[in-house]
Amino acid sequence: MTIEVSHVTKQYSLGRRASYQTLRDTLASFWKRERSDSAESFLALDDVSFQVKPGEAVALVGNNGSGKSTMLKIISRITYPSKGFVRITGRVASLLEVGTGFHPELTGRENTFLSGSVLGMSYQEIKAKFDEIVAFAEIEAFIDTPVKYYSSGMYVRLAFSVAAHLEPEILIVDEVLAVGDLRFQKKCLDKMKSAASSGKTVLFVSHNIAALRSLCVRGILLNRGKMEMDGPIESVASHYLQQYCATSSAQTWEPGEGPGNAACRFLKVRLHDREGHDLKIGNLSEEVSIELTYEVLQEGTQVAFAFQLYTDESVCAFSSLSNREPYFHGKALAKGTYVTRCSVPGHTLNNGHFFATVQAFGIHWEELFSIERVIAFEMHDDGILKGDFHGSYSGLFRPNLVWQTEQLQCP
C-alpha cells in the first residue's frame, strides 16, 4: 500500500485557533481549574480511512470545510492527526500552493533553486532540469530579474514549472491547477496527466470536476470531515455535483436555519427576471437578477455581499460586490428583513451552466461566511446575436459589440 489512512481524526479547538495565546493567558490558566482545552472544538476530520495503491490517481472531492485540505496537510506531514495514523511508502512531494518558498527580492533563477529545494529536489537535480523548467515557464528573457517585477502570470508560470518538474513517487496536489491563463492551465493539466499515466501515485484536490474526471480513476468524497463515498471517479463526481452543487435556481431556509452568523442570516437566494418571476433558464439578451433575502438579527449590523459566477468547470466568470449599492452599503442596519438585488444586464454571459457562490463580508471586507454554489442556472441562447451564424460561441461572455466597416479607397 502506498498511502494508508487509518481512522484519522483531526480536532481543532476553536478558541486557540482564533487568537494566539499570550504568556499571560497561560499563566492565568494555571490558577484556574479548567484548561483552555475544554474550549469549543470541532472535528476537521472524523475517523476517515482509505488506502491508495501504487500508481493510482485519486481525487479528493468535497466542499470547502469538508476536510480535504486538512487531509492533504496530514499526509504531507505539515500537521498531525489527533487520532489514527497515516502510513506512506515512497518519496512524497506536496504542492499545496503555487510558489512555495519564493522570495520576491530574489531573481527567477535564484527562486528556481530555492523553491526546487524547498519542494524536495536536490541541487544537482535542479541544475540538470533548469533549462527545461525555464522553457516550460516561458520566461527565458526575465530569468535574472527579481520576481517582484514579474507579472502575476509570469510568477505563477515559473512557480508551477518548478513544481511540475518534481519527480516523486507520490504527488499530492491541492488546487494548483487553477493558475495562469487558460492556455497555461491546459499545459499544466497535460503535465499532470502524464504524471498520472506514468505510474506515479497521485492525490488531487480540486474544485474543477472536469479536470479531476480526466486525471483520476477513483474519487473520494468528504463531507464535513467524514468519508461519504469512495469509488470510480464518474460516480463520485456525479454524486458530488448532484448532492452538493445546487441544481435549483432558488434556495430557501426557515428563519434561523439559513447560513449566517449571530448578526445576519439568510432566508432566501434566488434568480429572477426583469418582472421578478423566479427564473431557472435565462435568455442571453435579457436581464437576470440575483436576489438575497436575509434577516438582520442585531441592531446596527454592517454587512456587505458579493457573489461569484462559476461555470461547470469551476472557472470564475466574474464577481461583483455590493459596494455599488448607493443607499445601504456601509450603513448600520436596524433589525428586520432585507432584500438585496444585483442585476446582470442582458448580453453579458455566454450560454451554458452557471453556479453562484454568495459571500457576506464585514465592514473591512473580512469574510463572515459564504454559501458555495448556492444556486445554479442556465443561460439559453435565444439566437438574438446569432444572425446567419449557426455554430457555437466560445468564451464565458457574449457581449453585444459594435462592428463597423468603412471603405477607405475606391478602385
Partner 1 sequence: MEPHTVEIRSDKVIGTGYWTELWKYRELLGFLAWRDLTVKYKQTALGVLWILLQPLLTMAIFSFIFGKIGTFATGDIPYPLFALAGLVPWSYFSMIISYSSNSLITDSNLIKKVYCPRIIIPLASVTAGIVDVGIVLGAFLCIRLLYGYGWHWEMLFGLLSLVWLVLATAGISFWLSALNVRYRDVRHTIPFLIQIGLFVSPIVYPLSLIQSSYQFLYACNPLVGVIETFRWAMFTPEYSIEQSLVPIAISFVSTALIFIGGVRFFHKMERGFVDSL
d(CA 229, CA 236): 7
Nearest-approach distance from CB 77 to partner 1, in angstroms: 4
Q: How far apart are CA 397 and CA 102, in angstroms?
A: 35
For 319, the grid coordinates are 464577481
Nearer to partner 1, 1 or 217 (CB): 1
Q: How many whole angstroms separate alpha carbon 116 and alpha carbon 110?
A: 10
Nearer Cβ to partner 1 (77/186) = 77
CA 188 to CA 220: how far, in whole Å? Answer: 23
Report, in Å, the least distance between residue 136 CB and partner 1: 21
Which amino acid belongs to residue 2?
T
| CB-nearer residue toward partner 1: 85 or 397 | 85
Q: In which element (H, E) is residue 136 found?
A: helix 123-137
**Distance between CA atoms of 193 and 75, rounded to whole angstroms?**
21
Shortest distance, CB of residue 303 to partner 1, whole angstroms? 29
Return the number of the residue (37 or 299) whose C-beta is nearest partner 1: 37
Nearer to partner 1, 69 or 308 (CB): 69
**330: left (phi > 0), else alpha (psi -120 to 50), else beta?**
left
Q: How far apart are the first and last CA of the chain?
A: 78
Query: Rounded CA gap, 290 and 295, in Å?
Result: 17
Shortest approach of partner 1 to residue 50 CB, angstroms?
15
Query: Alpha-carbon torsion 192, 197, 203, 208, what sign?
Result: positive
Task: Find the Cα–Cα–Cα–Cα dihedral 167, 171, 174, 177, rounded to 10°.
Answer: 50
Look at residue 387 and give its three-state secondary structure.
Answer: coil
* 98 vs 236 by CB, closer to partner 1: 98
Which of these, 120, 10, 115, lies nearest to 69 by C-alpha position?
Answer: 10
Identify which of residues 23 and 401 has a Cβ nearer to partner 1 in the complex: 23
Shorter beta-carbon distance to partner 1: residue 113 or 338: 113
CB of residue 97 to partner 1, shortest distance in Å? 5
Task: Give min distance, CB of 87 to partner 1, in A.
Answer: 5
User: From the CB of 37, what's the least distance to partner 1, in Å?
Assistant: 13
Minimum distance of partner 1 from residue 149's CB (angstroms): 12
Min separation Cβ 267 and partner 1, Å: 36
Q: Which helix (H) or strand (E) holds 13?
A: strand 3-13
Residues that bind partner 1 (CB under 8 A): 12, 16-17, 20-24, 26, 73-91, 94, 96-97, 100-101, 103, 105-106, 110, 113-114, 117-119, 122-123, 146, 169
For residue 243, the minimal CB distance to partner 1 (Å) is 30
d(CA 336, CA 340): 13
Residue 271, C-alpha cell as written in the block? 434568480
For partner 1, the closer of residues 172 and 279 by Cβ is 172
Q: Distance (Å, rounded) from C-alpha 289 to C-alpha 307?
A: 12
Give the C-alpha separation, 224 to 407, whole Å: 64
27 or 410, CB closer to partner 1? Answer: 27
In 214-303, the DSSP E strands lie at 218-223, 226-232, 250-252, 264-272, 281-283, 288-296
